[in-house]
C-alpha cells in the first residue's frame, strides 16, 4: 500500500483514476477531508514516497460536493473535474484547480434540467478552438 487515507485529514474513498502529471499523481476523494463538511478533496501524491498533500477540500457551498470521475490536465497547470452534487441547484459542477496556487474555480453549475446533472464520469481533454487552445469534453452520466 502506497498511502492510507484518513477521513478527517486527507479524505476518504479515492474512487477515481489517478492522473500522472509532471511526476506527481493527482486524484480526488469522494468524501472526507479537513473541513467539517467532509465533502471530498483534491490531492497530490509523490509516487515514490506516498506522501500526500490535500490541495483543496470541498465545502458544501458553490464549489460542489463529492468529486468523482477523475481529473483532466489542462493548460496553465490546471486540473479539471466534476462534482456530483452541490452548487446552487444541487445538481453538480465542473471545476478547475490551478496546481501552482491551489486556486479553485467553479466553472459550470449543472441545473438538473436540459443540461443534465449529478455527473459521475470525468472530463477528457480534447483539441479544439477555444480561448485556452483546448476544450474539455464532458463525459457525464446523469441520473436525472
pLDDT in tens, 28-63: 998 888 887 888 899 999 999 999 999 999 987 778
Calculate the CA 63 to chain-centre distance: 10
Residues whose CB falls within 8 Å of the CB of residue 91, separated by 6 or more in sequence, listed in order:
85, 109, 110, 111, 112, 116, 117, 118, 144
Average of per-residue pLDDT across 67-87: 88
Q: DSSP letter string over 83-105?
A: EEEBTTTBB-EEEEEETTTTEEE
pLDDT 10s digits, 82-123:
998 877 788 888 999 999 999 999 888 888 888 888 888 888
Buried b (16+ CB within 10 A) or exposed e, 89-124: eebbbbbbbebeeeebebebbbbbeebbbbbeebbe
pTM of the model: 0.84
Amino acid at each position: 500500500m502506497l498511502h492510507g487515507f484518513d477521513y478527517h485529514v486527507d479524505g476518504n474513498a479515492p474512487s477515481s483514476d489517478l492522473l500522472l502529471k509532471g511526476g506527481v499523481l493527482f486524484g480526488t476523494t469522494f468524501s472526507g477531508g479537513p473541513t467539517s463538511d467532509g465533502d471530498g478533496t483534491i490531492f497530490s501524491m509523490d509516487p515514490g514516497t506516498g506522501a500526500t498533500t490535500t490541495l483543496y477540500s470541498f465545502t458544501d457551498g458553490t464549489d460542489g460536493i463529492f468529486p468523482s470521475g477523475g481529473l483532466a490536465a489542462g493548460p496553465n497547470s490546471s486540473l479539471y473535474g466534476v462534482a456530483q452534487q452541490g452548487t446552487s441547484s444541487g445538481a453538480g459542477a465542473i471545476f478547475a484547480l490551478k496546481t501552482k496556487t491551489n486556486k479553485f474555480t467553479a466553472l459550470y453549475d449543472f441545473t438538473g434540467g436540459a443540461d443534465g446533472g449529478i455527473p459521475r464520469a470525468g472530463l477528457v481533454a480534447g483539441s479544439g478552438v477555444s480561448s485556452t487552445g483546448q476544450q474539455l469534453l464532458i463525459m457525464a452520466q446523469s441520473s436525472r
